[in-house]
Structure 1
Amino acid sequence: MLRTLTAQGDAFPLATPFRISRGVKTVADVVTVEIGDGERVGRGEGVPYPRYGESVADALAEIEAARAAIEAGADRHALLTIMRAGAARNAVDCALWDLEAKSAGTSVPALLGCSTPGRMPTAMTVGLGPVEEMAAAARLLAHVPLLKVKVDGVAPADQIRAVRAAAPGPRIIVDPNESWTLEDVARLQPLLAEQRIDLLEQPLPAGQDDGLDGFRPLVPIAADESVHVAEDVAGLARRYQVVNIKLDKTGGLTGALMLADAAAAAGLQLMVGCMICSSLSIAPALILAQRCAFVDLDGPFWLSNDRAGGVRNDGGLIIPAAAGFWGDTA
């Protein structure tokens, strides 16, 4: 039986603006894909990211170009050649995983031979802003296990000190979003160690990180924008200690698992991250999260309203979505 595919853009307003060094987001614009086989429907979501030249319109056009092959039965592995890595393929790939599990009457973890995700700590993000506002936001999150702090290249030391003073307990990831120079990275190493920072994420612009080759940091450095797919891992181990895997970069859970295997084989630690998204993006990422040293999946917690039955936040612990939401049978 031929499949049916539907794809549409959806917008989820944020409860509060999300600020990073590159700009401000007030709405999460996503692409939602449904693939049916006449009896069951699998769902997936992708978040087109302007940083990578993506838009909702372009993602929908990519999916439309692949429609005939997908409806004719192309599987997840065929997608690796039919579609490029990115948000559009992520939505289709995750919909196919969901449909495969439902068709088999089982779950995606069972198909993979891994555990069903349980509640786990996730980074809760302190967005970029005036130092006093960042401190106030951190104070409200001082009880959570892990914070992610967005900083810039203007006053990162003040921002980091203010957040740590307001939240002395949590582990902290510092994320400049490509806004630092190599001199900043070297100069701020003692501060990062002094403030008990656990991870520095993508401080340099992607493509301009060769200065990290052979650099020995006091705090581990994670590649985010510098790594998208498994083929990018070669050479990263001399520059980074951690790889941040996002399904919207790898083009789905299939590609994410390939990247995780390649990074682990290269001796890199794993991190899983997300865009600002709904729970439909987070459910598949939770499967990979079980393998990761750092989990950063608070995207839906910025929304005014998430999809029904999605993941929940319990004091910085992410609670998986309800049965039947994605990747299993209700």
Structure 2
Amino acid sequence: MNHSPLDITIIFTSYGSFRPLNYFFFTLTFIFYLLSVLSNILLMLVIYFESSLHKPMYIFLFNLAVNGLIGSSAIWPKVMENLLSDTQKSSLLACLVQVFWSYFYISSAYTTFSVMAYDRYISICKPLLYHSIMTPRKVKALLTAANIIPLSSISIQVYLTSTLPMCGYTIHNLFCDNLELLKLSCVKSALVSLYGVCMITILIGFPCIIVLLSYAKILTVSLKASKDARKKALSTCSPHLITFINLSLASLFVDIYHRYSSVLPGNACIVMIIDIFVIPPLLHPIIYGIRTQEIRKCFVKTVRKKERFFRIYSAFSLTMKFRLRSGPINVLFNDKIN
């Protein structure tokens, strides 16, 4: 039976398994979400205000930080609301919106990783041609493609899902997932399934190939270079590889779970989903801030500037208070007023 998205209510069943600990999990989720938001905003501010970081690598990293904010905000506020509610539910319309932003976060992360890998490949393998290849115009084009392609692809996917009639209304998950919604549908659409395979190929498969080929070439060139050059290349690329591998392994497990959910424990999928939506948004600012020397230096420089400003401001405020309390200044002000 067809319903309007506004009329259908989706029930989440995973919260019942740890209901006695809901307040503890709410506190934990809130702390991780707050840390993720603050760390990504801090990284964005450092890159934005430091002109020395206005380079392709850090512009792509800025986009990755924005993407991390989107991923965290798409999932965890609703999860925290459900943890404090007696009934864990959502309208189908809100569910589709959550699917859109969560899938955009994952797919945009992969496309951003691919352009970052391409940037590192040009920087390490073709250093003399770097500035002629990675022009501002090309950086804008790559950044636009890394966001527009996922945006348009996910929009079509969500629209196709919204046209399917629903016969089930319960999801064994913490939040809305497109594959779970497809399981609730009364019909199996070959078009939706085919489009899903094409989307995975374009948004995940193709970026993975670019990343693997780029780093294979980087590794080949690094092995032939000097020890210092090899160390610098590995230091620059290792944060990217760590975060990419973590996201890929977690995404692969979730995809396997949806195909073989009958033989795998449900809580294992929840752990992997937490890994996708907690670890990368929190890990990216920390690992890039620690491992990337230029960001670390700029961060320390920014903190020192702020400390110096507050010292000067405090000294100025104390001086003005002292002078305003002194007799001659007060007399002078009173004469002017009179």
TM-score range, shorter-chain basis?
under 0.3
Which structure's CA Rg is the greater one?
2
Which structure's residues are more often helix, by fraction?
Answer: 2
Which structure's residues are more often strand, by fraction?
Answer: 1
TM-score normalized by the length of structure 1: 0.25
Instruction: With a CA cutoff of 8 Å and minimum separation of 6, indicate the structure with the bigger relative contact order.
Output: 2
